[in-house]
Amino acid sequence: SKAYFSPGEECRDAILQQINSAVKSLKICVFTISDDQIARSILLAHQKGIDVKILSDNDKLYDMGSDIGTLSREGIEIRIDNTPNHMHHKFMIADGEHLLTGSYNWTNSAARYNHENVLVSNHAGLVKSFQDEFDKLWQQMEVFEQQKPYHRN
């Protein structure tokens, strides 16, 4: 296990390293994605044939700079929390073996200004716990399709 901290590039680099090292799958569960470097890496992974699934919060979909719509239009499966509450998780499971989690929002502000953290671990028990949470949320959340109009409840 290893911990990373921001401000600075450590957390972003850890995220990019995990995305770029994946060979089979990426299960991403994050409040928002507006860091274009991270979005580009996710898209490249998808284009290489890696199975990418994203869970995100409905309230952040249309924020300026949000990359969720772009990733959806490129064919990445995305589901969203369509409740009055927030899906505020920030974690990713790569290849079912590597967990990345922490307070770090996947935004430019997190790298530039915020005091945040990322933890990367391959501890099987932790990976399984987060995998189970992802699978549960995947079943509960609503399919997001950028092509159709989206209305908040």
Catalytic residue flag (residue 90): yes
Active-site entry in 48, 88, 123, 128: 88
Amino acid of residue 45: A
State in Å, rounded, how far the first CA of the chain is from the last one.
40
Q: 124: which 2 tokens?
A: 């099987």
Catalytic residue flag (residue 53): no
CA distance 67 to 59: 13
Beta-bridge mates of residue 142: 80
Catalytic residue flag (residue 2): no
Active-site entry in 13, 51, 59, 95: 95
CA distance 41 to 52: 11
Q: Which of 30, 62, 60, 28 is nearest to 43 (CA)?
A: 28
Active-site entry in 27, 60, 89, 90: 90
Q: Classify residue 106 by its DSSP letter.
A: B
Q: Which parts of 2-98 fold into alpha helices (H)?
A: 10-21, 36-47, 68-73
Residues annotated as catalytic are 88, 90, 95
